[in-house]
Amino acid sequence: MVAAPSSQLDLVFAALADPTRRAILARLAQGEATVNDLVAPFDLAQPTISKHLKVLEGAGLVSRGRSAQFRPVRLEAGPLAGVDQWIGGYRQFWAQSHDRLEAYVKTLQAEETSRDAPQDD
Amino acid sequence: MVAAPSSQLDLVFAALADPTRRAILARLAQGEATVNDLVAPFDLAQPTISKHLKVLEGAGLVSRGRSAQFRPVRLEAGPLAGVDQWIGGYRQFWAQSHDRLEAYVKTLQAEETSRDAPQDD
DNA sequence: CCTTAATATAGCCAATTAGCAATATAGCTA
DNA sequence: TAGCTATATTGCTAATTGGCTATATTAAGG
């Protein structure tokens, strides 16, 4: 077992890479839920959902309570703030590519008048 | 192999889950680079980096040019805008308890920044 | 042409992962 | 206590992944 300790971002991005887990988060955005609540909408076995929950918990994206034999799951958005922060460092780059795209569209429109545009891709 | 077509978000999150790939993006935030440029800072073999680049390209996060025997790699931030939008749906959940969160975010950013934040200076 | 440089591809391995069914545990309730 | 319900754990499999070395490809330059 050589495994370097995964950083928080590693765990969070990995957790978010699975559509089932994102759907679970979406459900939790509407409020706390039991495991069975979370199983219901999917065509997946209960242990499978429990496993997904463990991954989400490991990433800090959910926390568990205890109420009788229920272990309510609730959304913890903290790590998403971390992702948001990380992404913030790149915001300028998609603003910029948007500008480039706009410029490109303008070019196409300009060439439209001269009816002879070469394909350059 | 029944594999449902991974959504863009699946691919992007999965690509971002690896610290080497995030570091590559951080490097590309400073400008186009050749594969060798990207190999240099890591203690990884060139084919390993090429594989990472293929993952990033599959997610739409980088694109490749061609110039002699070089295949310059450049950042494509578009997909990050998609992530930003997805995350936007959860912003309210951390806005609520901003105070407690601030320290937490600072902590994990401190951990990550040195490793793979884009340099914007 | 032949060599060198930049990159890609192939093939291998170990670790991880998403899924399942079966079973165990924990806490009500009768 | 017994039984029922909610959830966790175990143990399996197939697929995927990150790493490597060795080799192939592509383009420049002598």
Task: Flag whether pLDDT at B6 surpasses 60.
Answer: yes
* Spatial separation of the C-alpha atoms in residues A19 and B61, rounded to whole Å: 19
* Spatial separation of the C-alpha atoms in residues A29 and B82, rounded to whole Å: 19
Tens digit of each residue's pLDDT (9 = 90 or more) over B87-119? 999 998 887 655 555 555 555 555 555 556 665
- Give the nucleotide at minimum CA-to-C1' distance from A57: D8
What amino acid occupies position B95? A
More confident residue, B55 or B2: B55
Which residue is nearest nucleotide C18, judged by alpha carbon to C1' distance? A48
Q: Which residues have CB under 8 Å from B63's CB, separation 6+?
A: B57, B73, B74, B76
Task: Flag whether pLDDT at A86 surpasses 60.
Answer: yes
Instruction: Answer whether CATH 1.10.10.10 is correct for domain B8-113.
Output: yes
Q: Are A15 and A56 in contact (CB under 8 A)?
A: yes
Task: Flag whether pLDDT at A110 surpasses 90.
Answer: no
Task: Flag whether pLDDT at A121 surpasses 60.
Answer: no
Query: Gap from B51 CA to C8 C1', in Å?
Result: 9
Instruction: Please check whether strand C approaches the CB of B70 to within 7 Å.
Output: yes
Q: Are A72 and A57 in contact (CB under 8 A)?
A: no
* Spatial separation of the C-alpha atoms in residues B55 and B11, rounded to whole Å: 8
Q: Over pLDDT 90: what percentage of chain A?
A: 68
Q: What is the pLDDT of residue A95?
A: 77
Residues 44-83 on B with a CB inside 8 Å of A are 75-78, 80-81, 83
Burial of residue A20 (number of CB atoms within 10 Å: 0-12, 13-18, 19+): middle
Closest alpha carbon to A11 in B1, B51, B111: B111
Tens digit of each residue's pLDDT (9 = 90 or more) over B17-71? 999 999 999 999 999 999 999 999 999 999 999 999 999 999 999 999 998 889 9
Interface touch B112/A7, C-beta < 8 Å: yes
Most confident segment among A99-103, B52-56, B77-81:
B52-56
Residues of B 18-77 whose CB lies less than 7 Å from any atom of strand D? 18, 20, 43-45, 47-48, 51-52, 55, 68-69
CB-based contact (8 Å) between B8 and chain A? no
pLDDT, chain A, mean: 83
Residue A81 sits at φ, ψ, to 5 deg, of -65, -35
* CATH code for the domain defined by A8-76: 1.10.10.10
Which residue is nearest nucleotide C26, judged by alpha carbon to C1' distance? A69
Q: What is the pLDDT of residue B37?
A: 97
Q: What is the pLDDT of residue B95?
A: 74
Compare CB distances from A89 to B7, B108, B118 and report the shortest one's residue: B118
Task: Flag whether pLDDT at A103 surpasses 80.
Answer: no
Q: What is the pLDDT of residue A120?
A: 32
Average pLDDT over residues A80-103: 81
Instruction: Grade residue B4 by pLDDT with cuts at 50, 70 and 90.
Output: low
Interface touch B80/A87, C-beta < 8 Å: yes
Residue of A nearest to B100 (CA): A78
Q: What is the pLDDT of residue A115?
A: 36
The neighbour count for residue B11, using CB atoms within 10 Å, is: 19
CB-based contact (8 Å) between B108 and chain A? yes
DSSP string, B13-76: HHHHTSHHHHHHHHHHTT--B-HHHHHTTSSS-HHHHHHHHHHHHHTTSEEE--BTTB--EEE-
Query: Gap from B76 CA to D30 C1', in Å?
Result: 38
CB-based contact (8 Å) between B112 and chain A? yes
